[in-house]
Protein backbone atom coordinates (compact mmCIF):
# COMPACT_ATOMS: atom_id res chain seq x y z
CA UNK A 1 0.00 0.00 0.00
CA UNK A 2 1.26 3.45 -0.84
CA UNK A 3 1.94 6.06 1.80
CA UNK A 4 -0.61 8.82 2.21
CA UNK A 5 0.17 12.47 2.86
CA UNK A 6 -2.62 14.95 3.54
CA UNK A 7 -1.94 18.63 3.13
CA UNK A 8 -4.26 20.96 5.02
CA UNK A 9 -4.39 24.28 3.21
CA UNK A 10 -4.19 24.04 -0.57
CA UNK A 11 -2.93 27.58 -1.10
CA UNK A 12 0.45 28.49 -2.51
CA UNK A 13 2.56 26.49 -0.08
CA UNK A 14 0.18 23.54 0.16
CA UNK A 15 -0.27 23.07 -3.55
CA UNK A 16 3.42 23.62 -4.29
CA UNK A 17 4.23 20.96 -1.68
CA UNK A 18 1.83 18.61 -3.49
CA UNK A 19 3.70 19.38 -6.71
CA UNK A 20 7.16 18.63 -5.30
CA UNK A 21 5.84 15.53 -3.49
CA UNK A 22 4.08 14.18 -6.58
CA UNK A 23 7.34 14.48 -8.47
CA UNK A 24 8.97 12.25 -5.85
CA UNK A 25 6.18 9.66 -6.23
CA UNK A 26 6.43 8.69 -2.58
CA UNK A 27 2.80 8.99 -1.50
CA UNK A 28 -0.79 9.48 -2.51
CA UNK A 29 -1.76 13.04 -1.73
CA UNK A 30 -4.89 14.68 -0.33
CA UNK A 31 -5.39 18.44 -0.45
CA UNK A 32 -7.92 19.96 1.95
CA UNK A 33 -9.02 23.58 1.99
CA UNK A 34 -12.05 25.59 3.06
CA UNK A 35 -12.42 27.20 -0.36
CA UNK A 36 -14.98 25.19 -2.30
CA UNK A 37 -13.72 23.52 -5.46
CA UNK A 38 -10.18 24.86 -5.16
CA UNK A 39 -8.47 21.77 -3.65
CA UNK A 40 -10.48 19.54 -5.99
CA UNK A 41 -9.41 21.61 -9.00
CA UNK A 42 -5.74 21.70 -8.03
CA UNK A 43 -5.65 17.97 -7.26
CA UNK A 44 -7.27 17.14 -10.60
CA UNK A 45 -4.97 19.48 -12.50
CA UNK A 46 -1.91 17.85 -10.92
CA UNK A 47 -3.36 14.36 -11.49
CA UNK A 48 -3.67 15.22 -15.16
CA UNK A 49 0.00 16.27 -15.28
CA UNK A 50 1.20 12.87 -14.09
CA UNK A 51 0.96 11.00 -17.42
CA UNK A 52 3.30 13.61 -18.88
CA UNK A 53 5.91 13.28 -16.15
CA UNK A 54 5.34 9.54 -15.77
CA UNK A 55 4.36 9.31 -12.12
CA UNK A 56 1.78 6.97 -10.63
CA UNK A 57 -0.05 8.21 -7.59
CA UNK A 58 -3.51 9.34 -6.60
CA UNK A 59 -4.40 12.95 -5.82
CA UNK A 60 -7.64 13.92 -4.11
CA UNK A 61 -8.93 17.39 -3.28
CA UNK A 62 -11.62 17.93 -0.67
CA UNK A 63 -13.33 20.38 1.64
CA UNK A 64 -13.95 17.61 4.18
CA UNK A 65 -11.54 15.96 6.58
CA UNK A 66 -12.89 12.46 5.92
CA UNK A 67 -10.70 12.39 2.82
CA UNK A 68 -7.59 12.50 5.03
CA UNK A 69 -8.40 9.19 6.79
CA UNK A 70 -5.41 6.95 7.52
CA UNK A 71 -2.77 9.46 6.51
CA UNK A 72 0.82 8.70 7.41
CA UNK A 73 1.68 12.38 7.46
CA UNK A 74 -0.45 15.49 7.90
CA UNK A 75 1.15 18.68 6.61
CA UNK A 76 -0.51 21.82 7.96
CA UNK A 77 -0.15 24.93 5.81
CA UNK A 78 -3.65 26.31 6.36
CA UNK A 79 -3.69 29.87 7.54
CA UNK A 80 -3.07 33.41 6.61
CA UNK A 81 0.19 34.41 4.97
CA UNK A 82 2.09 37.57 5.87
CA UNK A 83 1.49 40.87 4.16
CA UNK A 84 4.16 43.59 3.87
CA UNK A 85 4.81 45.15 7.27
CA UNK A 86 3.44 42.15 9.17
CA UNK A 87 5.64 39.97 11.34
CA UNK A 88 5.03 36.24 11.60
CA UNK A 89 3.80 36.87 15.13
CA UNK A 90 1.02 39.14 13.87
CA UNK A 91 -0.56 35.99 12.50
CA UNK A 92 -0.65 34.34 15.91
CA UNK A 93 -4.30 34.35 16.96
CA UNK A 94 -5.91 33.99 13.55
CA UNK A 95 -3.71 31.09 12.61
CA UNK A 96 -4.05 29.46 16.03
CA UNK A 97 -7.79 29.00 15.47
CA UNK A 98 -7.13 27.48 12.05
CA UNK A 99 -4.38 25.12 13.25
CA UNK A 100 -6.39 24.07 16.32
CA UNK A 101 -9.25 23.06 14.09
CA UNK A 102 -6.99 21.26 11.62
CA UNK A 103 -5.29 19.27 14.40
CA UNK A 104 -8.61 18.31 16.01
CA UNK A 105 -10.14 17.17 12.75
CA UNK A 106 -7.18 15.31 11.30
CA UNK A 107 -6.29 13.34 14.42
CA UNK A 108 -9.82 11.89 14.46
CA UNK A 109 -9.26 10.29 11.08
CA UNK A 110 -5.53 9.55 11.31
CA UNK A 111 -4.69 8.71 14.93
CA UNK A 112 -1.20 7.48 14.02
CA UNK A 113 -0.16 10.34 11.78
CA UNK A 114 2.97 12.44 12.07
CA UNK A 115 2.37 16.18 11.80
CA UNK A 116 4.58 18.57 9.85
CA UNK A 117 3.60 22.13 10.66
CA UNK A 118 4.28 25.05 8.37
CA UNK A 119 1.67 27.60 9.36
CA UNK A 120 3.31 30.61 11.00
CA UNK A 121 4.41 31.40 13.62
CA UNK A 122 5.36 27.77 13.20
CA UNK A 123 7.24 27.06 16.42
CA UNK A 124 4.13 28.13 18.33
CA UNK A 125 1.75 26.37 15.92
CA UNK A 126 3.71 23.11 16.29
CA UNK A 127 3.33 23.41 20.07
CA UNK A 128 -0.39 24.04 19.71
CA UNK A 129 -0.91 21.17 17.26
CA UNK A 130 0.87 18.71 19.54
CA UNK A 131 -1.22 19.70 22.56
CA UNK A 132 -4.51 19.70 20.65
CA UNK A 133 -3.85 16.42 18.83
CA UNK A 134 -2.62 14.88 22.09
CA UNK A 135 0.09 12.89 20.34
CA UNK A 136 3.60 12.16 21.66
CA UNK A 137 5.94 15.06 20.97
CA UNK A 138 8.12 13.05 18.54
CA UNK A 139 5.15 12.95 16.17
CA UNK A 140 5.06 16.69 15.60
CA UNK A 141 7.74 18.68 13.84
CA UNK A 142 7.77 22.19 12.44
CA UNK A 143 9.34 23.28 9.18
CA UNK A 144 11.62 26.28 9.33
CA UNK A 145 15.26 25.32 9.69
CA UNK A 146 15.51 23.56 6.35
CA UNK A 147 14.16 26.69 4.68
CA UNK A 148 16.30 29.14 6.64
CA UNK A 149 19.41 27.03 6.05
CA UNK A 150 18.57 26.70 2.34
CA UNK A 151 18.28 30.46 2.06
CA UNK A 152 21.70 30.88 3.64
CA UNK A 153 23.12 28.17 1.33
CA UNK A 154 21.63 29.91 -1.70
CA UNK A 155 23.18 33.24 -0.71
CA UNK A 156 26.61 31.67 -0.11
CA UNK A 157 26.38 29.84 -3.44
CA UNK A 158 25.50 33.05 -5.28
CA UNK A 159 28.31 34.94 -3.55
CA UNK A 160 31.02 32.37 -4.25
CA UNK A 161 29.81 30.80 -7.48
CA UNK A 162 30.14 27.33 -5.92
CA UNK A 163 27.58 24.52 -6.21
CA UNK A 164 24.85 24.50 -3.60
CA UNK A 165 25.77 20.86 -2.99
CA UNK A 166 29.12 21.90 -1.55
CA UNK A 167 27.56 24.38 0.81
CA UNK A 168 26.39 23.34 4.25
CA UNK A 169 24.71 25.88 6.47
CA UNK A 170 22.94 25.45 9.75
CA UNK A 171 20.39 27.84 11.19
CA UNK A 172 18.96 27.27 14.64
CA UNK A 173 16.29 28.92 16.74
CA UNK A 174 12.82 30.26 16.19
CA UNK A 175 11.67 31.09 12.68
CA UNK A 176 11.87 34.84 13.05
CA UNK A 177 14.34 37.63 12.68
CA UNK A 178 16.04 36.40 15.88
CA UNK A 179 16.99 33.06 14.28
CA UNK A 180 20.60 32.00 14.83
CA UNK A 181 22.67 31.24 11.69
CA UNK A 182 25.57 29.13 12.99
CA UNK A 183 28.47 30.51 10.98
CA UNK A 184 31.05 28.45 12.90
CA UNK A 185 29.41 25.15 11.97
CA UNK A 186 28.61 26.18 8.39
CA UNK A 187 31.12 25.32 5.67
CA UNK A 188 31.93 25.03 1.99
CA UNK A 189 33.26 21.55 1.20
CA UNK A 190 34.52 21.37 4.78
CA UNK A 191 36.16 24.83 4.73
CA UNK A 192 34.60 26.92 7.51
CA UNK A 193 32.47 29.76 6.17
CA UNK A 194 34.41 32.17 8.34
CA UNK A 195 37.60 31.28 6.41
CA UNK A 196 36.17 31.46 2.92
CA UNK A 197 34.15 34.68 3.19
CA UNK A 198 35.35 38.13 4.33
CA UNK A 199 33.68 39.16 7.61
CA UNK A 200 31.58 41.90 6.00
CA UNK A 201 30.21 39.55 3.31
CA UNK A 202 29.48 36.86 5.88
CA UNK A 203 27.69 39.39 8.10
CA UNK A 204 25.62 40.53 5.11
CA UNK A 205 24.62 36.92 4.32
CA UNK A 206 23.65 36.29 7.94
CA UNK A 207 21.49 39.40 7.94
CA UNK A 208 19.88 38.54 4.59
CA UNK A 209 19.14 35.02 5.87
CA UNK A 210 17.44 36.39 8.99
CA UNK A 211 15.28 38.67 6.89
CA UNK A 212 14.89 36.18 4.03
CA UNK A 213 11.15 35.69 4.46
CA UNK A 214 10.51 39.43 4.65
CA UNK A 215 12.53 40.04 1.49
CA UNK A 216 10.15 37.78 -0.46
CA UNK A 217 7.03 39.24 1.19
CA UNK A 218 8.13 42.74 0.17
CA UNK A 219 8.73 41.64 -3.40
CA UNK A 220 5.51 39.67 -3.80
CA UNK A 221 3.39 42.32 -2.02
CA UNK A 222 0.60 39.83 -1.50
CA UNK A 223 1.47 36.50 0.05
CA UNK A 224 4.73 35.03 1.25
CA UNK A 225 7.34 32.59 -0.04
CA UNK A 226 6.18 29.19 -1.16
CA UNK A 227 8.63 27.42 -3.49
CA UNK A 228 11.41 27.09 -0.93
CA UNK A 229 9.09 26.40 2.04
CA UNK A 230 7.34 23.67 0.04
CA UNK A 231 10.66 22.14 -1.05
CA UNK A 232 11.70 22.11 2.61
CA UNK A 233 8.53 20.29 3.70
CA UNK A 234 9.04 17.80 0.90
CA UNK A 235 12.53 16.98 2.13
CA UNK A 236 11.18 16.42 5.66
CA UNK A 237 8.32 14.22 4.43
CA UNK A 238 10.77 12.21 2.34
CA UNK A 239 13.08 11.74 5.35
CA UNK A 240 10.18 10.50 7.46
CA UNK A 241 8.49 8.21 4.92
CA UNK A 242 11.76 6.65 3.80
CA UNK A 243 12.95 6.31 7.39
CA UNK A 244 16.19 7.99 6.43
CA UNK A 245 17.32 8.94 9.96
CA UNK A 246 18.26 12.23 8.43
CA UNK A 247 19.42 15.14 10.57
CA UNK A 248 17.64 18.29 9.47
CA UNK A 249 17.23 21.62 11.20
CA UNK A 250 13.59 21.60 12.31
CA UNK A 251 11.31 22.78 15.11
CA UNK A 252 11.20 19.90 17.58
CA UNK A 253 9.94 19.58 21.14
CA UNK A 254 12.68 20.25 23.67
CA UNK A 255 12.84 18.75 27.10
CA UNK A 256 16.06 20.18 28.48
CA UNK A 257 18.13 20.21 25.27
CA UNK A 258 19.95 23.53 24.85
CA UNK A 259 18.72 24.35 28.36
CA UNK A 260 15.15 24.75 27.05
CA UNK A 261 11.99 22.99 28.18
CA UNK A 262 8.41 22.67 26.96
CA UNK A 263 8.94 24.51 23.70
CA UNK A 264 9.12 23.69 19.98
CA UNK A 265 12.29 25.23 18.67
CA UNK A 266 14.63 24.98 15.70
CA UNK A 267 17.37 22.43 16.39
CA UNK A 268 19.11 19.64 14.45
CA UNK A 269 16.54 16.85 14.58
CA UNK A 270 16.95 13.33 13.24
CA UNK A 271 13.87 12.38 11.23
CA UNK A 272 12.69 8.87 10.48
CA UNK A 273 9.53 6.78 10.35
CA UNK A 274 8.72 7.64 13.97
CA UNK A 275 9.07 11.35 13.42
CA UNK A 276 11.70 13.08 15.54
CA UNK A 277 14.09 10.34 16.66
CA UNK A 278 16.82 12.35 18.27
CA UNK A 279 17.93 15.91 18.86
CA UNK A 280 21.56 16.83 18.40
CA UNK A 281 23.25 19.48 20.49
CA UNK A 282 26.01 21.72 19.19
CA UNK A 283 28.59 22.98 21.62
CA UNK A 284 27.70 26.64 21.39
CA UNK A 285 29.77 29.70 22.17
CA UNK A 286 28.48 32.10 24.81
CA UNK A 287 27.30 34.50 22.11
CA UNK A 288 25.50 31.75 20.20
CA UNK A 289 23.86 30.49 23.38
CA UNK A 290 22.74 34.02 24.27
CA UNK A 291 21.26 34.51 20.79
CA UNK A 292 19.46 31.17 21.08
CA UNK A 293 18.01 32.10 24.47
CA UNK A 294 16.77 35.41 23.06
CA UNK A 295 15.09 33.65 20.15
CA UNK A 296 13.55 31.06 22.51
CA UNK A 297 12.21 33.77 24.80
CA UNK A 298 10.22 35.19 21.87
CA UNK A 299 8.71 31.80 21.05
CA UNK A 300 7.90 31.08 24.72
CA UNK A 301 6.19 34.46 25.02
CA UNK A 302 3.87 33.64 22.12
CA UNK A 303 3.17 30.14 23.45
CA UNK A 304 2.15 31.76 26.74
CA UNK A 305 -0.20 34.16 24.92
CA UNK A 306 -2.12 31.22 23.47
CA UNK A 307 -2.81 29.73 26.91
CA UNK A 308 -2.88 26.21 25.44
Identified catalytic residue from 19, 168, 175, 245: 175
175 has catalytic annotation? yes
Residue 142 interacts with ligand APR (CB under 6 A): yes or no: no
Q: How far apart are CA 170 and CA 248, in angstroms?
A: 9
Min CB(125)–ligand APR separation in Å: 8
Min CB(219)–ligand APR separation in Å: 14
- Considering only residues 227 through 256, tell me which ones interact with ligand APR, judged by CB under 6 A: 229
Q: Are strands 180-181 and 171-172 parallel, antiparallel or unpaired?
A: antiparallel
DSSP string, 225-278: --HHHHHHHHHHHHHHHTT--EEEEEEEEEESGGG-EEEEEEEEEEEETTEEEE
Q: Shortest Cβ contact with ligand APR: which residue?
A: 11
Residue 266 interacts with ligand APR (CB under 6 A): yes or no: no
Residue 258 interacts with ligand APR (CB under 6 A): yes or no: no
Query: Which stretch in 45-53, 91-99, 183-191, 292-300 sits in contact with ligand APR by CB under 6 A?
Result: 91-99
User: Ramachandran region of residue 232, left (φ > 0), alpha (ψ -120 to 50) or beta?
Assistant: alpha
Residue 94 interacts with ligand APR (CB under 6 A): yes or no: no
The set of residues, in sequence order, having a beta carbon less than 8 Å from that of 207 and lying 6+ positions away, is none
Question: Can you tell me which of 226, 253, 258, 265 binds ligand APR, judged by CB under 6 A?
Answer: 226
Residue 104 interacts with ligand APR (CB under 6 A): yes or no: no
Three-state DSSP at 142 gives strand
Catalytic residues: 175
Amino acid sequence: MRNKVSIIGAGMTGSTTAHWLADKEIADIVLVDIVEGMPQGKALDLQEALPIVGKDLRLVGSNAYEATADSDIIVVTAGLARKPGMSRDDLLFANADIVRNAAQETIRYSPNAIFVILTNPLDVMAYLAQKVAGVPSNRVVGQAGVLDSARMRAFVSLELGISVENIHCYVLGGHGDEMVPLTRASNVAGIPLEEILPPDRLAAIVERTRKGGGEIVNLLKSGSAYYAPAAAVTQMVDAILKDRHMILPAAAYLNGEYGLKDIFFGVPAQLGRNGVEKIFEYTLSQDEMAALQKSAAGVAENIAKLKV
